[in-house]
Amino acid sequence: MTESKEIRYTFCAHCNKEVQVLVSRGTPRNGQANLQETDEVVCLDFGDRCDGEICPLSRFRPVVMGVRLARSGLREEWTTVRAECEGCGLVSDLKVLDREHAFCSLCGTTNTWMILEFDDRGRVAVTGRRSR
């Protein structure tokens, strides 16, 4: 099965601007150019402003788009947080998806995370179970 990918521009109703998306074609059924249920859209403009309840491009919570982008490896520059991953147990630089979620590139687990602040010795990032 060949999977085709193409860069498209589409209007994001939440960000109120044109965004760049990578469309991964699912199995084409009838050769139409329209988006299908099996197509996955990865928004390349995912960022801090994606804070709404629902991302209009994925129709999921915005963090889902962040996970897709992190998994795709399309973005080089990520804010990272050094913490232990709930999935693999290794300490690595987790890609920060939003204020609550961080993605482990090693095993693909989405962690919840938060920063604990201490009076005496700075801050530490702690991870938690993935919330659904």
**Are 78 and 84 spatial neighbours (Cβ–Cβ below 8 Å)?**
no
Stretch binding Zn ion (CB under 5 A), from 2-10, 12-20, 43-51, 102-110: 102-110
Stretch binding Zn ion (CB under 5 A), from 5-13, 47-55, 100-108, 112-120: 100-108
Q: How far apart are CA 29 and CA 74, in angstroms?
A: 27
Q: Can residue 111 be called a binding residue for Zn ion (CB under 5 A)?
A: no
Most distant CA pair in the chain, distance: 63
Q: 66 by DSSP, 3-state: which?
A: helix
> Using the rule CB under 5 A, which residue among 25, 87, 112, 114 binds Zn ion?
87
Query: What does DSSP say about strands 110-117 and 101-103: parallel, antiparallel, or unpaired?
Result: antiparallel
Rounded to the nearest whole angstrom, what is the least distance from the CB of residue 62 to Zn ion in the complex? Answer: 21
Q: Can residue 127 be called a binding residue for Zn ion (CB under 5 A)?
A: no
> Using the rule CB under 5 A, which residue among 7, 13, 54, 88 binds Zn ion?
88
Q: Which residues does 60 contact at the CB level (< 8 Å), separation at least 6?
A: 54
Binding positions for Zn ion, 26-85, rule CB under 5 A: 85
Q: Can residue 109 be called a binding residue for Zn ion (CB under 5 A)?
A: yes
Rounded to the nearest whole angstrom, what is the least distance from the CB of residue 14 to Zn ion in the complex? Answer: 29
The DSSP symbol for 86 reads T
CA-closest candidate to residue 102, choices 76, 126, 132, 75 = 126
Q: Which chain residues interact with Zn ion by CB under 5 A?
A: 85, 87-88, 104, 106-107, 109
